[in-house]
Structure formats: structure tokens, C-alpha cells
Structure 1
Amino acid sequence: MTLRQKIAREALAARHEMVRNGELLREDEFRKRLRLSISRLKGMVASGSVFAIEVDKVEYFPSLLATPSIDRKKLYSICRVLGPAPESCRLSYLKSRHANLGGISPMVALQDDRSYRLLRRMARAYAAEWWRTSVTIYTGCHLAEPFDVEPIVKAVDEGDPRVNLWKRAAGAILSGGYIYPPGPYVHADVASVFVTLHPAGQGKATVEARVEIRVDDDMVHAFVVCGEAPGYELDAIPVDGNGGIVDTVLRTITAARAHEESLGLR
């Protein structure tokens, strides 16, 4: 048995115990406690206000989400903030005490307005730890990330995947969290940029956007492809001829975000 298999078996055993002791409820019991219709519960799950944990291919809901003495409006708001984290980790976060909350649990923090405001900030930071956005820049034109070419620069930052991808991409470059090499950066007349979303652990990364950049006479011409959507060409963008490729990419990212927002795409 591998270590991963052992951990998975122990986690399943813990979930079985939670079902036995009532910490996890079947859907019908959960709906009964909250007096919810099936459609209302589906809507709450879709919004992230509540969440389910699978045990033996059956979905169970944490009983603490139906606690009658808690301000459930605040609780469900925190659940939505925690949305990027795996369901089991959301439950663990809600149940556990945290030093950055003053040694209390989120369920206790809900009872005080000041603690609740702190909880929202800390929960947002916790949720962001589960996803990273990377921006990788290569010289030349590439339809996919090349394995035989070193990037000019790669920047990575943690962030909520629900945030606009261009905002996350700019944040990865500007945050200073991880960027290699640190610069200064060369000028490049032709470059390819890949914006990739990485889940924590061994999950598969997803290329969210590819940008082809060509610089002519201090003007940037960029073609943008986001996921499976048709690509589009941006209007020419003026750049400083003395600036490096990172500055060029930042200007292009800003233009792409403005373009999509003007069309109501994001």
C-alpha cells in the first residue's frame, strides 16, 4: 500500500465515523433541518453557500452548516469565500482553531462582528492557497508551451481562480511572490505568453490563455486565445521602445482585460 492509498483509506474511515456520529447528514435530513426544497438546496450548492462531502459515492452535508444558533447568513458567506478549497478542507477549516483568528474557530468568530471581519480576510487568504496562476513568456511563436525552450521569465502567484484571469495574470507579475529570473528583461520582437491555472497538489494544470505578441516600431500587435473560445486580435498598443518584454506583456494583459470587459465577456 502506498502512502497516498493509506492516507485515502484513513480519510474514508474518518468520514464513515462522521456519518455515524451525525457530523455528516444525508441530503434529506439536511434539507429537513433547514426546511429547504430540492431546488433551493441545489441553488445553495451551486453558489457555494453550502457544500457536500462524498462518502461511498453518496453526498453528505456537514451538520454544522445547519447549526440553529449560528448566524447562517454569515456562515454561508464564509463558505462562498472558501469555495476554491476542496470540500473536506473547507469543513476542516470551519471546525478548527486558527492562530490568525486569535486561537478560535471560524464558527466562534461568526459570533462577533470584529472577529467576523477578520475571519473573512483570513478565509480569503486560505482559499487562495489552493490555486496558483503562472505567466510564462517565451521568445518566438508557440502554439503550446515548448519543452525544449527556456522561458524568458516565469511569474507565479496564489489567487482565487474565480478572479478575472487577466487580473490574476497581472498580479502574478507584479506581486513579487515568485518571478524568475528577477530581471532586467530583454526586448523581444516576437513572444508567446501562457497564462496557466495550477491546483494545489497533483491536480492537472489548465492553460487559460495564450497570447501571441509581435512588436513593430514601438507598437504591439497581439492575438489572444482564451481556452476553447475563438481567438481575437487586440488593437495596436504603444510601448516604450526601451522597455523589456515584461512591460510589453503587462500592457498587453491590461489591454486584453479592457477589451473583454468592454464586450461584457468577463
Structure 2
Amino acid sequence: MASGGWDIAMRHIDQQYDLPQFVASSLVRKIAANGFRLPAADRSKFQKLPDEVIARIEQIVRESYIEAGEDVGGDVLREHLWQQASVARREMIASGELLTPTEFKNRIGVSEKRLARLIEEGSVFGVDVDETEYFPALLADPLLNRKRLQTLCRIIVPADPMSRLDFLTSQRGSLGERRPVEMLDDDVDFKSVRRIATAWAAEWSRTIVKLYAGDHQLEPSDVEPLYTAIAEIDPRKPLWARASEALHLHGYEWPLDPHRVIPIFTLFVSRQAVGDSTPIPEACVQILVVGERIRIRIVAAAGTAHNSKTIAAGEHKTFVDIAKQVVAYLLKH
């Protein structure tokens, strides 16, 4: 199956650099859409990468698109990539790599109702081809440990279907150049591939926590946040667990040394998937520090009661410490 420029670039970057999928994907997309140069306005978003690494990745992207015989041109490129993907998927149907729902459920011996349940829980997945759903024949291979294969499928749900299929069937350096589907029988191998799959799945979504001075109900668009923490985290984890992890992991974080004391600030949590330019708002919490007490007003948060709480401030000194304490409280309640 022929590879496009994006696929080739992602593969070469993965071979040369240990970058999260989200970062690599964002770099390729921005570089390819800007004449094979990272826009100056976006350089600060990748400040942890040295200039020579950015330059090398720009070269990789340019060479990959040339290798694939593609050009960059906004809507034209997107349409071309869509057409290319459609052709490739039709070829997979013709070769038997993708099966109709009827063929697939017959091969794995389940009813239509059971198949729907397997899809819902992520144990199997379909691929859209011309607005019709097909299923990878690999998932029905009788020679593979189906129970463990379905376990892997549930782990990698955050990625899009074709990326999941690519993960299952591609050699990976982190697995000793073996493919995940080759590591289902041995207990030690399966433990390793589960760990790699969990880390890989988390790279397809990131949780963003931003803190703004003052009292807000909507995230301000005209001022810079006091503090931002971003981390690649599985989106299926609970909201406050992800927010806490982002604040403690320090995946992307600025300013680096926030010692200011801010008596009134607002915490926003959002989630962003690979390929989506706009994060999805998830929570807004207004925080007021009065002496030894912290007043919390939850403006919006999925699965959390929208009300006010007061908790002890303890010995925390900075607004980031306070934010961590508030999130820890919300995680427990």
C-alpha cells in the first residue's frame, strides 16, 4: 500500500527522534502547510526542540512529500490526501484486508448485537470507506490470541482507526523491531506491548490546564495565562485525574518558576486530540484565597456538581500550589 507524504514524514521522524505522536503530527502538519517551514509564530510552541532539530524535521517533511510525489496547497492538499486514503482503503477491501460487517461477524462468530457491543467497548474497530464501515481482517485472524488482541484494541482507542491498525501491524524499535500482533502469546511480551500501547495511546490526546488572574466564566482570549501545563494523557481517564497529572507531569509548562501569590484566579481545563486545532473546554473553576481558606466555585465541569466549596489553604505559597490542592480536592470529591 502506497504511503503519502505525511505517513513517510511521521515514520522518518519516529525513527530519528523520540517525540510524542501529538508533537510530531503537529509539526508535520504546520510545516507542510507553510511551504515546508515551521511558521515563526509557532516556534515558541516547540521551544524545547533546538533549532537544528526543527531544521532537520523541516527537511524530513519536505523530502517526504517529494518522495510521495505530493505538493502542498491548503484545500488542494487536504483533498488530495483524502482521495489518496480512499484509494488505499479500496485496495485493502479488494485484497481482503478489510471485511464487510457481515463477513467480519461471521469470521469471529458473533451476532450483530454482540458485534455492536464489541465496537462500543473498543475491542474491535471499523474503518470508513466511502461512508461504509469495514473491519480489519487482522482482528478476525484465528491464529492470533483474540482476547489479548481485543485488550490491545481497547487500550489504543484514542487514536483514529487507521493509526490503530498501523500500530498493531508495524515493527517498533521499542519492541525490538517486532510487531505488537506478534507479542500476544508470551506473558512477558504481552506485558511489554501493553505498556507501549498505553504510552502510545496517551500521545493521541493532551490535557491542558491554564490559570488566569481574576474571576472568569469563559477562557479569556485577549490576555496571556499566568500558567499553562500540558501533558499527553489518555482522554478516558477522569477529568480531575487528567488535570492533576498535567499539573504534576510538567510535560509542557510555563512560566517555569511561578512564585507569585495570586489571591483570585480561574482554572480552565481543556482536551485536544491529534489533528484538532481547537481544544475542547472541559472545566472552569474560580478560586479565591482568603487568609487560611480557599473558596472554590465550580462554573462548569463534566460530572462535577456546580457549586461552591471552602477548603483549608494549608501551607501552600504559590498559586500553582493552590491549583494543585484544589484539583486534588475535586479528584477526591
> Secondary structure in 1 aligned to 2:220?
coil
Which segments of 5 or more consecutive residues in structure 2 lack a partner in the other structure? 1-74
Q: In the alignment, is the contact (CA less than 8 A) between 2:215 and 2:286 conserved in 1?
A: yes
The answer to whether the 8 A contact 1:237-1:251 is kept is no
Whether the 8 Å CA contact 1:207–1:227 is kept in 2: the answer is no
Q: Does 1:233 align with 2:322?
A: no
User: Matches of residues 176-255 of structure 1 in structure 2 within 5 Å?
Assistant: 176-224=250-298, 225-227=300-302, 231-234=306-309, 236-240=310-314, 243-255=317-329
Deviation at 1:240, TM superposition (A): 4.0
Please say if residues 316 and 322 of structure 2, whose CA atoms lie closer than 8 Å, have aligned partners that are also in contact. no
Contact 2:258 2:320 in 1 (8 A): no
| Consecutive unaligned residues in structure 1, runs of 5 or more | 260-266
The Cα of 1:7 is off from its aligned counterpart by 1.6
Amino acid corresponding to residue 17 of structure 1 in structure 2: E
Number of the residue aligned with 2:196:
122
Any residues of structure 2 matched to 1:20-169 within 5 Å, and which? 20-169=94-243
TM-score scaled to structure 2, two decimals? 0.75
More helix by share: 2
- Count of equivalent residues: 258
How far the C-alpha of 1:203 sits from its partner, in A, is 4.9
For residues 33 and 170 of structure 1, what CA distance do their matches in structure 2 show? 43
Q: CA deviation at 1:242?
A: 5.9
- 2:59 matched residue in structure 1: none
C-alpha distance in structure 1 between counterparts of 2:85 and 2:280, whole Å = 27
Q: Distance in 2 between matches of 1:162 and 1:241?
A: 33
Indicate the structure with greater strand content. Answer: 1
- Aligned 8 A contact 2:207 2:270 in 1: yes
Name 1:8's counterpart in structure 2.
82
SS in 2 for 1:2: helix
Q: Give 1:186 shift.
A: 1.1
Coordinate RMSD, CA, aligned: 1.4
Give the equivalent residue in structure 1 for 2:41: none
**C-alpha distance in structure 2 between counterparts of 1:66 and 1:200, whole Å:** 28
Whether the 8 Å CA contact 1:31–1:41 is kept in 2: the answer is: yes
User: Over residues 89-132 of structure 1, what are the superposed CA-to-partner deviations in whole Å (9 max), with x where a residue is unaligned?
Assistant: 10111111111111011111113221111100001111111100
Distance 1:16 1:99 in 2: 30
Over 3 Å counting, the alpha-carbon distance change for 1:12 and 1:216 in structure 2 is same
Match for residue 64 of structure 2? none
